[in-house]
Structure 1
Amino acid sequence: MDTKPEEFKSNAWVVYIIQSEFNKLYTGITNDLERRFNEHLNSQKKKARFFHFSKPDKIVFCESHSNRSEASKRECAIKKMSRKEKIALIEKGKT
């Protein structure tokens, strides 16, 4: 994705999908995408359990929301999607 984490530095909440080194997809929310990606990459205490077995490779999708509630609802909806649906969402976000 061409979007860089620093483009989402604001008080907005961001729903993101990270692709791991083994091509798996992880969905999460944050209010600081660059910080959160670095935590997943480097922090033993703050990274998601998902990344204990597979390092994050790149952010493939991000979507800004005005508050945490909206972002959480969207995160939940994305997590319920099949892998095929998530890939379609990622591809749609690239256009």
Structure 2
Amino acid sequence: MIDKATALESVLRKLKKLPVGHCIDLRTYKRNRSLLIIHYQSEDFTIFEDGYETIEHNVKLKEVRKLLKTLFKREFPRSNKIRMYELGEYDDSMREREMKKL
């Protein structure tokens, strides 16, 4: 769990070290909205937004900061803490969200 205030810098630091083909999952505290960030090629990232909207974004590393800033405002508007999971190598089954079981 990371603070939302420092989340952007933490995620960008993690993305620069992330190997090609691996991914990071960002979720709200309740785990009902998520951003899945995949390091697709050397400077290319794919971000799957799943929450208020379900959209796929393809961006370069230098565009990630601006996009994440807008996505944090849209998907995590009232969150103070964000869960960050490093999932390892990406496969298509990771795209489907697992809801928190009550």
Normalised by the length of structure 1, the TM-score is 0.43
Normalised by the length of structure 2, the TM-score is 0.41
The structure with the largest strand share of the pair is: 2
